[in-house]
Amino acid sequence: MIKRYKYSLILSLVILYLSLKNANDLKKVMFLNIPYFDKIAHVCMYFSLMSVIILESGKIARRNRSLLKLAFFPFFYGILMEFLQGTITTTRSASPYDVVFNTLGIIVSILIWLFIRSAYKEKFK
């Protein structure tokens, strides 16, 4: 199981690191003054995580019900990250808006996968 989802696990660890990293260090990286950059980052991180999970799942992701089950991991992982930010860090805080943007990234990934899957229906049979 770990071998099958190794990239998802690596990406999850990267998200863990970025979620718990000192907020002051992250502000140094934001040399571009893009409004709501953190929300864009949340969408991108969870879009990437869900996309990698879909790709690593192979035949499992071909069924809609299984696809929704796969989405539970990044969804609850995002909630866990927000909980950890609010409880174990001193420079970060939990935000329900971050959970919304995490979920948006997951949904966009699923919608793109459904579009690709339907466009190439013959190939995915």
pLDDT tens digits, residue range 74-116? 999 999 999 999 999 988 899 999 999 999 999 999 999 999 8
User: 56 or 31, which is more confident?
Assistant: 56
Is 90 part of a structural domain of the chain? Answer: yes
91 lies in some domain: yes
Whether 15 is in a domain gets the answer yes
- pTM for this one? 0.87
Cα–Cα dist 116/114, whole Å: 6
Domain contains 1: no
Which structural domain, as residue segments, surrounds residue 17? 6-119
Kind and range of the H or E run holding 124: none
DSSP 32: S
Q: Are 113 and 58 in contact (CB under 8 A)?
A: no
Residue 107 maps to a domain? yes
Spatial neighbors of 85 by CB under 8 A, at least 6 apart, are 19, 20, 92, 93, 94
**Residue 59 pLDDT level (bands cut at 50, 70, 90):** confident
Q: Is 125 contained in some domain? A: no
Nearest residue to 49 (alpha-carbon basis) of 115, 108, 116:
108
| Number of domains within the chain | 1
The secondary element (H helix, E strand) that includes residue 60 is none
Q: 47 versus 62: which is more confidently predicted?
A: 47
Following DSSP, what letter does each residue of 77-117 receive, concatenated? HHHHHHHHHHHH-SS----HHHHHHHHHHHHHHHHHHHHHH
Does residue 41 sit within a domain? yes
Task: Give domain status of residue 124, yes or no.
Answer: no
Counting every residue written for the chain, the total comes to 125
